[in-house]
């Protein structure tokens, strides 16, 4: 155990698998938990001084750790706190990066603040939400993020990045693309609608409330989302083997009109209709789960010790005693078959470290 410098404790050879929802992978050479902004600065200095790589760990819900582990420092940002500020008809919530995401959603819904109710039940911490522009059931955090407060490892100081500077796209931002590894997120500010109506864009939500004669409340939508996620194995439930996953393992492909016409023709030649949804710039988002299932991988499929959830084709699960290499082998098998069958390269959603 190392003290650096008399403020933050850094421990050695810490197992990372228990800190992830997939529960695979080796150990971190060094591990520290940051509860203050100064802790983050010290961790960055520690990694630079020892010339070891630094990885920032959130809730561990979207992560695959290599069997060999991580050769440098893993920093878990545990900065908490929620501060509320009124801004006209809106409420600004500034939240520590280590705060539990679903707890924040529950708090917002409880205070009748709309904008993130459809993102209920997503595991992980607040700091991870801007990185991949977390989205589900008709909402994305990009729609509500006002700004991101982060430590800039390149310049050595803290910065405020307004929404536009984050360059949010589908499952993407500067934090996981052009500026990957530069910023360590400390706090996020969300702009929510006070007494706003719930978002009902997602087909399953429409179906759920089809017979309702009134606009459903935010709490009713949250409960519906939680039920849907549970039915699909996308809710962390103790004892449920389908919960040992990294969530949706592949992104839904976004295609140009010509690409979509080509794949739709392939589907039609097999008397199939591929589900699609409108996307930005007249593009088409298609279902990755549909592609997986129509490439020979059914729910409950097993390849060695790794498997596909019995409830959702996009979740790769740890069936017990699984190695990271088993998960990667299944991932690659699915990608190869989907590309062969449909001409589409599926992009994984989780972050892979140590590979």
What architecture does CATH give domain 241-252+287-353? Answer: Alpha-Beta Complex (3.90)
Tell me how far CA of residue 140 lies from CA of 85, 117, 167, 184, 282, in angstroms: 22, 10, 13, 21, 19
Structure tokens at 343: 């001409």
Concerning whether 349 is annotated as a catalytic residue, the answer is: yes
Concerning whether 244 is annotated as a catalytic residue, the answer is: no
Domain boundaries, the chain: 2-77, 82-231, 241-252+287-353
Q: Which residue has the tokens 């088409």?
A: 284
Q: What is the DSSP letter of 210?
A: T
Rounded Cα distance between 7 and 324, Å, is 34
User: Does domain 2-77 fall into CATH 3.40.630.30?
Assistant: no
pTM: 0.90
Of 65, 56, 79, residue with least CA distance to 20: 65
Rounded Cα distance between 161 and 157, Å, is 13
Rounded to the nearest 5 degrees, what angle is found at the Cα of 145, between the Cα atoms of 139 and 149? 145
Q: CB under 8 Å to 263, separation ≥6 — which residues?
A: 255, 274, 286, 342, 343, 344
Rounded Cα distance between 105 and 222, Å, is 9
- Give the per-residue pLDDT at 145: 98
User: Does domain 82-231 fall into CATH 3.30.465.10?
Assistant: yes
- Give the per-residue pLDDT at 121: 95
Q: What share of the chain is helix, strand, coil (3-state, %, to 5)?
A: 30, 30, 40
Catalytic residue among 120, 147, 245, 248: 248
Cβ neighbours, 10 Å, residue 209: 17
What 302-311 contacts at long range (C-beta under 8 Å, 24+ apart), as own/partner pairs, is 303/329, 303/330, 303/333, 304/329, 304/330, 306/330, 309/232, 309/233, 309/242, 309/245, 310/233, 310/242, 311/231, 311/232, 311/233, 311/234, 311/242
- Give the per-residue pLDDT at 279: 81
Rounded Cα distance between 229 and 325, Å, is 27
- Give the per-residue pLDDT at 154: 95
Catalytic residue among 41, 171, 187, 244: 171
Rounded Cα distance between 47 and 55, Å, is 10
CA 77 to chain centre: 16
Concerning whether 158 is annotated as a catalytic residue, the answer is: no
Alpha helix (H) residue ranges in the chain: 37-50, 101-110, 203-208, 218-231, 257-268, 288-293, 324-342
Of 139, 92, 138, residue with least CA distance to 111: 92
Rounded Cα distance between 1 and 3, Å, is 7
Q: What is the total residue count of the chain? A: 355
Beta strand 183-194 with 351-353: parallel, antiparallel or unpaired?
unpaired
Rounded Cα distance between 226 and 246, Å, is 17
Task: List the chain residues with pLDDT less than 70.
Answer: 1-7
Q: Is 39 left (phi over 0), alpha (psi -120 to 50) or beta?
A: alpha
Rounded Cα distance between 76 and 34, Å, is 6
């Amino acid at each position: 155990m190392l003290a650096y410098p008399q403020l933050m404790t850094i421990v050695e050879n810490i197992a990372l698998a228990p800190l992830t929802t997939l529960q695979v992978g080796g150990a971190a050479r060094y591990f520290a938990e940051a509860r203050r902004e100064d802790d983050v600065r010290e961790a960055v200095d520690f990694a630079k001084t020892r010339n070891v790589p630094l990885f920032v760990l959130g809730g561990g819900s979207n992560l695959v750790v290599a069997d060999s582990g991580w050769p440098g420092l893993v920093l878990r940002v545990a900065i908490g706190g929620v501060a509320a500020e009124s801004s006209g008809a809106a409420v600004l919530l500034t939240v520590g990066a280590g705060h539990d995401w679903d707890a924040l959603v529950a708090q917002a819904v409880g205070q009748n603040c709309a904008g993130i109710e459809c993102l209920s039940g997503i595991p992980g911490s607040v700091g991870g939400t801007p990185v991949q522009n977390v989205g589900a059931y008709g909402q994305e955090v990009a729609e509500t993020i006002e700004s991101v407060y982060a430590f800039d490892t390149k310049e050595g100081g803290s910065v405020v990045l307004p929404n536009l500077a984050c360059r949010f796209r589908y499952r993407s931002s500067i934090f996981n693309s052009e500026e990957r590894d530069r910023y360590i997120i400390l706090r996020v500010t969300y702009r929510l609608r006070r007494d706003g109506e719930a978002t009902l864009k997602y087909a399953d939500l429409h179906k759920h409330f089809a017979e309702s004669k009134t606009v459903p409340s935010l709490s009713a939508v949250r409960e519906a989302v939680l039920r849907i996620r549970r039915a699909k194995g996308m809710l962390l439930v103790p004892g449920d083997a389908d919960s040992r996953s990294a969530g949706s393992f592949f992104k839904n492909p976004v295609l140009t009109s010509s690409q979509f016409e080509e794949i739709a023709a392939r589907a039609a030649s097999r008397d199939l209709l591929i589900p699609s949804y409108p996307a930005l710039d007249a593009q088409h988002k298609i279902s990755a789960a549909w592609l997986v299932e129509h490439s020979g991988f059914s729910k409950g499929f097993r390849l060695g010790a790794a498997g596909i959830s019995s409830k959702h084709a996009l979740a790769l699960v740890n069936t017990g005693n699984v190695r990271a290499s088993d998960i990667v082998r299944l991932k690659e098998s699915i990608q190869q078959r989907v590309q062969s069958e449909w001409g589409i390269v599926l992009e994984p959603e989780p972050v892979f470290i140590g590979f």
